[in-house]
Amino acid sequence: MKALTLGPDRTLALVDHPKPQAARADDVVIRVAQSGICGTDRSVLVGKFPAETGVVMGHEAVGTVDSVGQGVTRFAVGDRVIVNPTLYCGNCPTCLEGHLNFCGHKTGTEVGLDYDGSFAEFIRLPELFCHAVPDGMSFDRAVVVEPLACALNNLEAGRLVAGETAIVVGGGPMGVVTAMAAQLYGARVMLVEPDPVRRQLDHEVFEAPEFGGRVTVHTPADSELAARGDLVVDSVGSLLEQSIGYAALRGRVVIMGFNSNASATVRPLSLLQRGLQIIGAGDYNSQIFPKAIELARTLPLERVVTHRFPLAEHEEAFKALAAVPGSRYTALKVVLVPPHSEAAA
């Protein structure tokens, strides 16, 4: 099969790669229909997050079942599925306490980072991490369910409730999905994005009648933002200081974006006197994934997808996400399509 693997110089190459087989009783092999590029994928290529050389990257995927192990009971060949890439062992002390997102046996199970992922024609996962696409839901919407699970995890960690003001810092696809979810909670939502191209794309997403003006888009310098957010979500992962400035008295700030190079200077006295809480939610607990699928029935997630490219044009795909030197953002969510899906389109 064709797959995009990570080279030692942090570039991707389209290679011939062994097709995964259903070797274990609970294995499901999925024929990938499309796979979204995550901010984490971009971070790997620009040196902000680690991944194993040679791994097939990608983890936001939908497709159809190609083959199953003899012990699989919930899926049959041809079924449409969504990938839940946040694997866990279920047996370590942390998992047994219910904190599946902090599983103690993550090594070798990080899909697209050290476990072969979905920038390929096929991916193999245990049955437990496959979910049925609801009848009537398009792949274009279903491919954004995994980012929605991330958003819900952070909003719930931040204890967002109806009537509050939520400020989402960063208007990329993850920020947009977080803003979509926050307005479902009954919050007033303010989305902050410095890049004019992305800010215009954000405006176009939230002009949809489904949102009824409940999400507004702002520049970082907008005076309306200062000390306003009951909950502030840093969807970038490197804007903690800016996010603290947006937090209201007794507000909560959730660090959502993954950036291993980021650091921040925080004055403890300011946190104390303003009664602020800084929250790190980590990966989502997989128990939230079914909730994300249900909420996706009512959210036009497909509006986040602005570009799609074949695997062979991956350089152009990442260029649209400003992951190539000298490039600028021209997209929100970018989707990669394997060769077999191109032929079927």
CATH code of residue 166: 3.40.50.720
Examine the domain organization and report whether 71 and 195 are in the same domain. Answer: no
In a domain, 312, yes or no: yes
In a domain, 291, yes or no: no
Q: What is the structure's pLDDT at 341?
A: 72
* pLDDT average per 10 residues of sequence, the chain (345 residues): 97 97 97 97 94 98 98 98 97 96 94 98 98 98 98 98 98 98 97 97 95 96 96 97 98 94 95 98 95 97 98 97 94 96 61
DSSP secondary structure letters along 51-74: --TT-B---EEEEEEEEE-TT--S
Examine the domain organization and report whether 159 and 261 are in the same domain. Answer: yes
Residue 265 CB: number of other CB atoms within 10 A?
Answer: 6
First to last CA, the chain: 18
**Total residues found in the chain within this entry:** 345
In a domain, 192, yes or no: yes
Q: What is the structure's pLDDT at 340?
A: 81
Say how far apart CA 130 and CA 145 lie, in whole Å.
Answer: 12
Examine the domain organization and report whether 139 and 6 are in the same domain. Answer: yes
Q: What is the structure's pLDDT at 343?
A: 59
Say how far apart CA 137 and CA 133 lie, in whole Å.
Answer: 7
Say how far apart CA 145 and CA 284 lie, in whole Å.
Answer: 12
Q: What is the structure's pLDDT at 260?
A: 87
Examine the domain organization and report whether 101 and 229 are in the same domain. Answer: no
Residue 186 CB: number of other CB atoms within 10 A?
Answer: 12
Examine the domain organization and report whether 84 and 184 are in the same domain. Answer: no
Query: Contact at 8 Å (CB) between 57 and 44?
Result: yes
Q: What is the structure's pLDDT at 342?
A: 66
Examine the domain organization and report whether 72 and 106 are in the same domain. Answer: yes
Q: What is the structure's pLDDT at 329?
A: 96
SS3 state of residue 151: helix
In a domain, 290, yes or no: no
Q: What is the CATH number of the domain that holds 332?
A: 3.90.180.10
Place of tokens 């970082």: 220
SS3 state of residue 270: helix
Examine the domain organization and report whether 310 and 276 are in the same domain. Answer: no
Examine the domain organization and report whether 230 and 335 are in the same domain. Answer: no
Q: What is the structure's pLDDT at 344?
A: 59
- Enclosing domain of residue 19: 2-143+300-344
Query: Contact at 8 Å (CB) between 159 and 133?
Result: no
Domain boundary among 280, 313, 330: 280
When divided into structural domains, the chain yields a total of 2
Say how far apart CA 332 and CA 320 lie, in whole Å.
Answer: 9
Examine the domain organization and report whether 128 and 215 are in the same domain. Answer: no
The one-character DSSP state at 227 is T
Examine the domain organization and report whether 215 and 99 are in the same domain. Answer: no
Examine the domain organization and report whether 220 and 323 are in the same domain. Answer: no
